[in-house]
Amino acid sequence: MTVSEHRTDLSDAQRLLVDLVSIPSPSGEEGEAAERLVDFFEDHDREAWIDDVGNVRAPADDSVLLTSHIDTVPGDIPVEIEETDDDRLLWGRGSVDATGPLAAMAVAAVETGVSFIGVVGEEVDSRGARHVVDSGRAEPGVVVNGEPSGWNGITLGYRGLLAGTYVATSESGHTSRPENNAIQDGMDWWNRVESEFDPDEYLPVFERVTCKPVSFQGGTTDDGLSVEVTMDVQFRIPPEYTVGDVREMADGQLNGGTVHWYDSVPPVMQSPRTNVARAFRAAIRNAGGDPRLLRKTGTSDMNIFASDWDCPMVTYGPGDSDLDHAPNEHLSLTEYDDAVDVLVDVCERLTGGDE
């Protein structure tokens, strides 16, 4: 059924979710969704505004900061609500990553009076989260970052990221010559890098350094005098390593050519014994769930916040992360409601509101 046919029987929390999913918000085009969030806070007597980079700020009790990203990856998935035997499923781009967590956090922030920030650009360069920490915002008591973990899961760790561009140039020459040209230098470097980080096959993916070339261009220059190669590469870095460790190891394999390292995000691993992790486990059990502790092989804005703030953090949100960026992205409204309840419970435990 269409969204409009369901609108009258949706709760206020569900209407916010449906509205946000219905507003296209790929990275760089978050403005309309940000305005809807501001309207939601103002309708509930909360001050909110859009900052210089497009983040939605709704400061309040800063013992807890709820934050998730407004942007989605591109993709046109028709927004509709599917009726099943025991649930309703909301289909649409962003329903899982991460409009579901974003809406749930906005609702919980309104209900409990804690701080909220909706950030932009997470899917491309995390410019929203970087702006938050670079602008000198005071460190909150705890951070709950919004990404899909399932309503009964909390994510404690993410691998980091190192990205760079390898460039090499050699003189052109007849292909019968035995000396390496720039293309071979690039291929040799990458083969050595992969050998350097070749993992034990039994090592979990989270604990490995994953090496990926993401683009490759090479050939003879237009003037015919040189051979050039350019290769963009990325490394996913587990907490066992620092970004500097991986960079040094990759640079150590160079035998011709150079690498311009242009992006780095440190890995993060939080303790399951922090006050916020304990509050989530208690809240999930209180809602009838069995808490799951997760580690993710990608990165998130939690990496950005953890690199500048020393407060306890977790990542949480409704949705199956296997549906991130997928053409069949959809979210259970029952799970969404459960996640709102868990977030409200957590915030009350951390602010003393349940006493």
Rounded to whole angstroms, how far apart are CA atoms 304 and 323? 23
The pLDDT, as a whole number, for residue 4 is: 58
Tokens in use for 260? Answer: 């311009």
- 30, 61, 97, 122: which one is catalytic? 122
**Segments of the chain assigned to CATH 3.30.70.360:** 160-265
Catalytic residue list contains 71: yes
Question: What 3 state SS string does 299-353 have?
Answer: CCHHHHHHHHCCCCEEEECCCCHHHCCCCCCEEEHHHHHHHHHHHHHHHHHHHCC
The pLDDT, as a whole number, for residue 174 is: 52
Cβ atoms of 162 and 318 closer than 8 Å: no
pLDDT (tens digit, 0 to 9) for every residue of the chain, 355 residues total? Answer: 566 555 567 999 999 999 999 999 999 999 999 999 999 999 999 999 999 999 999 999 999 999 999 999 999 999 999 999 999 999 999 999 999 999 999 999 999 999 999 999 999 999 999 999 999 999 999 999 999 999 999 999 999 999 999 999 988 765 556 677 899 899 999 999 999 999 888 899 999 999 999 999 998 887 888 889 999 999 999 999 999 999 999 999 998 899 999 999 999 999 999 999 999 999 999 999 999 999 999 999 999 999 999 999 999 999 999 999 999 999 999 999 999 999 999 999 999 865 4
**Segments of the chain assigned to CATH 3.40.630.10:** 3-158+268-351
The matching CATH number, chosen from 3.30.70.360, 3.10.450.50, 3.40.50.2300, 3.40.50.720, for 160-265 is 3.30.70.360
Catalytic residue list contains 123: no
DSSP 114: E
- 71, 97, 345, 348: which one is catalytic? 71
The pLDDT, as a whole number, for residue 175 is: 59
The pLDDT, as a whole number, for residue 187 is: 94
Report the CATH fold assignment for 3-158+268-351.
Answer: Aminopeptidase (3.40.630)
Residue whose entry in the numeric block shows the structure tokens 């983040």: 55
| Phi, psi (degrees; rounded to nearest 5) at 56 | -95, 120
Work out whether strand 114-119 and strand 56-58 pair parallel, antiparallel, or are unpaired. Answer: antiparallel
Please tell me the pTM assigned to this model: 0.91
Q: What is the pLDDT of residues 38-91, one digit of tens each?
A: 999 999 999 999 999 999 999 999 999 999 999 999 999 999 999 999 999 999
Tokens in use for 213? Answer: 């070339």
